[in-house]
Amino acid sequence: MDQVTRRRFLGAATLTAASVAVGPWVARSSAQGAPLKIGLVLPYTGVYAVLGESITQGMELAFAREGGSVAGRKIEMIKEDDEMKPPVGVRKTEKLIDSDKVDILTGPVHSGILMGMRDKVHNSKTVLIVSNAGADAISRDRCSRWIFRTSFSNWQPCQPMGGWVAKNVSKEVFQIAPNYQAGKDMMAAFRETFTPAGGKVVAEDYPKLGETDYAPYLTKIKQSGAKAVFAFFSGTDAVNFVKQYDQFGLKQSIKLTGAGFLTEPDVLPAQAASALGIITGHFYTPLLDNPTNHRFVKEFRDKFFGKVPDGFACQGYDTAEVIIRAVKALNGNTQDKDKLVDAIAKVEFESPRGHFRFDPKTHNVIQPFIYVREVREVYGGLNNVPIDKVADVKDPGTGCTLPA
Amino acid sequence: MSFLPDLFGQALNGLSYGVLLFLLSVGLTLIFGMLDVVNLAHGSFYMLGAYAGLSLIAATGNFWLALLFAPLVVGGIGALMERACLRPLYRRPPLDQVLLTFGFIYLFEDVVKWIWGGRIRSIPSPALFSGSVTIFGATIPSYRLFVIVFGLAMAVALWLLIERTKLGAIVRAGVFDAEMTAGMGINIDRVFTWVFAGGAALAGLSGVIAGPIQSAYPPMGASILIPALIVVVIGGLGSLKGSLAGSLIIGQAETFGKAWLPGASMLIIYVVMALVLLFRPQGLFGRPLR
């Protein structure tokens, strides 16, 4: 009789484990061997769909290399389109956390969505690895133990450019960026090193996001007497601004510099020759000369029909690499969220952009380098050619109180 | 740092923007005035024009051929839409028509994504106007000067067409009272189709014209619709003169707003609209409200 009771008990336990997880012990045994669910909140429609696509492809490349599973757990990517709208992104985040019960969350592209999903992620103790959105606050006063970032803080590509532009281009600069938080953050980061290097901001302007006619601003830039411009625009704004800058004949007389997004491959083909000579700061360009990047570019092009990876693809690739390494270190057991966070924080590896590691103080990536890049026509097309670099660019993390 | 060249330069900027708005809004206002249809898909015709232009340039390598033929393509699409979808709705409440044209925004957007993809594209400036020129100390791209001259020439041509030809007289009569015009033995249905197709073709034309200045992307039509609607409200429904005046006013107001009060540039055009609505609710050149 004793045996029967035991068998019954075991049977009941297995049933429970297979259906609803009740206790921590049962939950753990169900998770091992179960698929590793990764939720993606990214734009898959609209102008920014190309960013979501690149990030996803970067992840798929790394996961495919592992044969689609890690530590015995099949990798399951659940993709949700956030449409670049904060309410939609937040709703999709809740769905992934509450009904899909994802193990790890990644995304978004839009900083507004990141700020909107932050509390839900933090309160539900869901691990989020930010794979694009650059809102400084997530590495500052809104940082969270549960949130990591493999991409960048807005501060990172801009702060080193200030000193570089003052030294190598001009000390009289006109600043221009869209009128929203990221634009203002980036312009302020630039000034942090520009002003101490003797630079003077002649004037600054903040056109509305989604502006189509920059003529009034370009006339002001022309009349301002500035010798260089430091700009941040992305998407259609980047195309319109760069084309109109060229059409107004400013390119020859006033050097255009900016944050890397100004000339990333999502906008470069539409900007065409107007982009030639623009100097930008970014942590990546496919032309980087290191063995990991050579392999990354080759494998990416082989897998995705000749497409050259961009910074967004590198962000996705590194995000997947972080997940793979952390889950392996835990032998596939991701139930203990504290251990998962500790394992992620410890991950270090050779990324296409250089030696990748997180800042323990903020959980934000320490950029191995910010590359100063110039748009040139090489290898049969327009490319961001690295011409200089600044090492170990770490967000100051002001106001973030994670344990050091 | 000199004030006058700056002022003159900004005035030219405002003029080129205003002329572009005119080409877009004149079709909207004529359709509005004559068919009593608020065509929310008008911005989509602008988008279709830009994309048709892109393909025509890719095929022929010639900007001018694209400028000629893209509007014909878009006009044809407009005629089809009017015949097949709008006509059955004329006797229904206006809201039904608005909903229908609203639906077309999404339809056209998906068609564009399906044919051309969602990537940002752009039309290169024609070689003839790729540089910039300096007039009285103000620098302006030569292409924008072309846009100004072309747009004003189109305004004169349209004015002659509407004020000096029999077709124009019919259109004017139709705007005033479509039912009465039909009673005079005019085939008003056919005129409706022509006006709708003409308005669509003008929007397509402005899409090609704007191509070298702006980028082409699927929701581009939606973002340009608001300023076009504001122009129509300011100028008065159905009035050619009104849409020209409204466009030039909005062009200057927005440009000088951006130059001098960048934080309030959007506010300024709404203030202009509010003032017009307050003191002349029918619009600058509209018929008094009955």
The burial of B282, by beta-carbon neighbours within 10 Å (0-12 exposed, 13-18 middle, 19 or more buried), is given as middle
**A207, A247, A249 member nearest B262 (Cβ):** A207
- Contact at 8 Å (CB) between B256 and B208? no
Residue A29 has a pLDDT of 42
Is A246 part of a structural domain of the chain? Answer: yes
Give me the pLDDT at residue B137, please: 84
> What angle (nearest 5°) sits at the alpha carbon of residue B114, between those of residues B113 and B119?
35
Domain range for A176 is 155-282+370-393
Q: Which residues of A fall within a CB distance of 8 Å from B259?
A: 216-217, 219-220
Find the CB nearest B217 among A219, A236, A271.
A236
Q: How far is B114 from chain A (nearest CA, A)?
A: 12
- Tokens for A189, please give them: 């980061």
Tell how far CA B276 is from the center of its chain: 20
**Percentage with pLDDT > 90 across chain B:** 61
> What are B76's two structure tokens?
């044809």
Residue A31's pLDDT is what? 52
Asked if residue A379 and residue A247 are part of one domain, the reply reads yes
A276 lies in some domain: yes
Nearest CA in chain A to B13: A215
Q: Of B13, B120, B220, which is closest to A270 when you measure between CB atoms?
A: B120
Q: Which residues from chain A sit within 8 angstroms of residue B258, using beta carbons?
A: 207, 216-217
**Which residues in chain B come in under a pLDDT of 50?**
1, 290
Distance from CA of B42 to the nearest CA of A (A): 18
Same domain membership, residue A198 and residue A130: no
A261: in domain: yes
Q: Which residues does chain A have within 8 Å of residue B112's beta carbon, measured at their own beta carbons? A: none
Burial letters A29-39, b for 16+ CB under 10 A, else e:
bbbeeeebbbb
Residue at A17 is within a domain:
no
Say yes or no: A49 and A196 in one domain.
Answer: no
- Domain at A330, CATH number: 3.40.50.2300
Give the CA-trace dihedral at B67, B72, B74, B78, to 10 degrees. 150
In a domain, A14, yes or no: no
| Same-domain pairing of A198 and A96 | no
For B139, the closest chain A residue by CA position comes to A248
The answer to the question of residue A341 being in a domain is yes
Task: Give yes or no: residues A343 and A229 share one domain.
Answer: no
Of A205, A207, A239, the CB nearest to B215: A239
CA separation for the pair B242, B263 (Å, rounded)? 28
Nearest to A215 among B13, B120, B224 (CB): B13
Q: Which residues of A63-95 are buried (b: 16+ CB within 10 A; e: fewer)?
A: beebeebbbebebbbeebbbbbbbebbbbbbee
pLDDT at A136: 95
Chain A nearest C-alpha distance from B44 (Å): 15
Question: Residues in chain B whose beta carbon is closer than 8 A to a beta carbon of chain A?
Answer: 1-2, 5-6, 9-10, 13-14, 16-17, 118-122, 124-125, 130-132, 138-141, 143-144, 212-215, 217-220, 223-224, 254-256, 258-259, 262-263, 265-266
| Beta-carbon contacts of residue A202 (< 8 Å; ≥ 6 apart) | A172, A173, A174, A224, A225, A226
A320 and A388 belong to one structural domain: no
Are A201 and A325 in the same domain? Answer: no
Is A268 in the same domain as A336? no
Are the Cβ atoms of B265 and A215 closer than 8 angstroms? Answer: no
**Residue-level pLDDT at A162:** 97
Q: Per the CB < 8 Å rule, is B141 touching A248?
A: yes
Considering CB atoms only, which of A49, A220, A223 is closest to B118? A49
* pLDDT given for residue A339 in this prediction: 95
| B262 to A206: CB separation less than 8 angstroms, yes or no | yes
Residues in A closer than 8 angstroms to B131, CB to CB, are 249
The partner residue sitting opposite A205, judged by closest CB among B2, B9, B262, is: B262
Domain tally for chain A? 2
Predicted local distance difference test score (pLDDT) of residue B1: 46
The whole-angstrom separation of Cα A267 and Cα A50 is 10
Same-domain status, A182 and A218: yes
Nearest-by-CA chain B residue for A234 = B120
Domain presence at residue A108: yes
**Helix residue ranges, H only, chain B:** 3-35, 42-60, 63-81, 94-116, 142-164, 166-176, 178-183, 188-210, 220-235, 240-260, 265-279
Residues B110-169: tens digit of each pLDDT: 999 899 988 889 998 898 998 889 888 888 999 999 999 999 999 999 999 989 999 889
Query: To which residue do tokens 């004559």 refer?
Result: B34
**Residue A389 domain-assigned?**
yes
Phi, psi for A373 (deg, rounded to 5): -125, 145
ipTM of the complex: 0.90
Based on the domain organization, do A145 and A168 belong to the same domain?
Answer: no
CB-based contact B266 A220, cutoff 8 Å: no
Calculate the average pLDDT of chain B: 91
Residue of chain A whose alpha carbon sits nearest to that of B137: A223
Asked if residue A381 and residue A330 are part of one domain, the reply reads: no
DSSP characters over A200-264? EEEEEE-PPTT----HHHHHHHHHHT-SEEEE---HHHHHHHHHHHHHTTHHHHSEEEEEGGGG-
Domain shared by A184 and A222, yes or no: yes
Task: Report the chain B residue with the minimal C-alpha distance to residue A202.
Answer: B1
Minimal C-alpha gap between A240 and chain B (Å): 5
CA distance A165 to A154: 18
404 residues of chain A, pLDDT tens digit each: 444 455 555 555 454 444 444 444 444 444 557 999 999 999 998 778 889 999 999 999 999 999 999 999 999 999 999 999 999 999 999 999 999 999 999 999 999 999 999 999 999 999 999 999 999 999 999 999 999 999 999 999 999 999 999 999 999 999 999 998 889 999 999 999 999 999 999 999 999 888 999 999 999 999 899 999 999 999 899 999 999 999 999 998 999 999 999 999 889 999 999 999 999 999 999 999 999 999 999 999 999 999 999 999 999 999 999 999 999 999 999 999 999 999 999 999 999 999 999 999 999 999 999 999 999 999 889 999 999 999 999 999 999 988 75
Q: Are B69 and B179 in contact (CB under 8 A)?
A: no
